[in-house]
Amino acid sequence: MTSARLLLATNNPGKAAEIKALLRGLDLELLTPRDLGLQIEVVEDGRTYAQNAAKKAQAYSEASGLVSLGDDSGLEVDALSGRPGLYSHRFAPLPVASDADRRHYLLEQLRDKPRPWTARFQATVAVAIPAGGLHLAVGQCEGEIIPEERGSHGFGYDPIFFFPELGLTMAELEMEEKNRLSHRARAVQNAIPILMEVLKK
């Protein structure tokens, strides 16, 4: 009996690695768009994380004929009235911005704001079924932004997202710990019962 196939609707290698690690214990064949030779550009113009996650999952499910898992996430900083939020990946005012550019720009925006810079990561996972069904799961984690980068794990805003109770940034966490605490980890964990239901033989 072959494993059920699940397509991860992302071209971000860091994100794909995290999700694969979270789903490692399940009897699933985890595929990426690259594995299938799929090249799809999904415009993330939704008004919520759920809408963007759903757009990605549905686009890849329709293109592949497979159950697909998409996600969208964002960093919400209280001192910036919840920004960058939905625009976390497109926050820096540059045509092509790197993760480092986005972190630098965020810290520039916070420079004159009083600390602590409390913040949270939000994530929504969407599971799309070729026949047309869609299921959602959410997760979040609380912390604060710090002005200096620490750690070499992770990606995005991880090096400046700090857990006061641990004394560590997201980028200083080992994968096992990150996959217990992160917003994406919690959303994916909440999606596992959904996956088991829709992928049942």
- Residues catalogued as catalytic: 72
Count of other CB atoms within 10 angstroms of residue 77 = 23
- C-alpha span between 137 and 194 (Å, rounded): 9
- Return the amino acid letter for 103: R
Any bridge partners for residue 29, and if so which? 5
Give the three-state DSSP class for 88. helix
- C-alpha span between 150 and 159 (Å, rounded): 5
Say what the alpha-carbon torsion angle 155, 89, 46, 197 is, to the nearest 10 degrees: -10
| Contact yes or no for 185/179 (Cβ under 8 A) | yes
- C-alpha span between 51 and 74 (Å, rounded): 13
**Of 87, 119, 122, 92, residue with least CA distance to 106:** 92
The secondary element (H helix, E strand) that includes residue 196 is helix 183-198
The secondary element (H helix, E strand) that includes residue 70 is strand 67-77
Any bridge partners for residue 130, and if so which? none
